[in-house]
Amino acid sequence: MTPPITDATGAPTQHTRRSYLGWLLGLCSAGVSAILAVPLIRFALYPLTAKTTETKWSDIGPSADFQEITTPIQRLINVEQVDGWRKQISDKVVYVTKTTGGETCVLSSVCPHLGCSVQWAVAQHQFVCPCHGATFGIDGARLGGPAPRAMDRLDSKVEADRLIVRYRYFRQLVPGKEVIG
């Protein structure tokens, strides 16, 4: 014979059908709540873990057009990005220029300060941001103003005698170049 079950005070406890059903109902409620919480938690944490797909390479033009340039050339490119089932195509302005070493490079026209469109000022022979007066050299180097860094250089390459570029979005107001999209 088994000894009777007692509570903390030493009094015998009674297990009834009602107490068993209460425990079973509580256990089932906790299980269903946990199962229903999983999609809510995934929904709340998704923006922290989601990454967009890489932007595709965009054609700027024949590479021969950029061999003998002396001032930056402004080009409008189509940027295609696919996010799951959504395809987004947008037009972006870039500048094709030469570095001090003579290498062809492509610069984003977005100012690293607050995101205004940087323009090439022919008279001053430099890039000027119209919003806050930041200035950049012909190769995108920071010359003055509130911009925390130089103009952002984009990945580019020559493929089948065409200059192509991969457009990126960079974080503003930080001294280091950080890709955000």
Q: What CATH number does residue 93 fall under?
A: 2.102.10.10
Same domain for 83 and 46:
no
Q: What is the mean pLDDT of residues 85-109?
A: 88
Same domain for 8 and 86:
no
What lies within 8 Å, CB to CB, of 177 at 6+ separation is: 112, 149, 152, 170
The confidence score (pLDDT) of residue 2 equals: 58
Average pLDDT, the chain: 85
Q: Residue 142 — very low, low, confident or very high, per pLDDT cuts 50/70/90?
A: very high
Same domain for 27 and 74:
no
In a domain, 31, yes or no: yes
Number of domains, the chain: 2
Q: Residue 179 — very low, low, confident or very high, per pLDDT cuts 50/70/90?
A: confident
Q: What is the mean pLDDT of residues 1-25?
A: 71
Using alpha carbons, list the distances in angstroms from residue 121 to 39, 102, 136, 141.
Answer: 53, 21, 10, 15
Same domain for 19 and 65:
no
pTM: 0.69
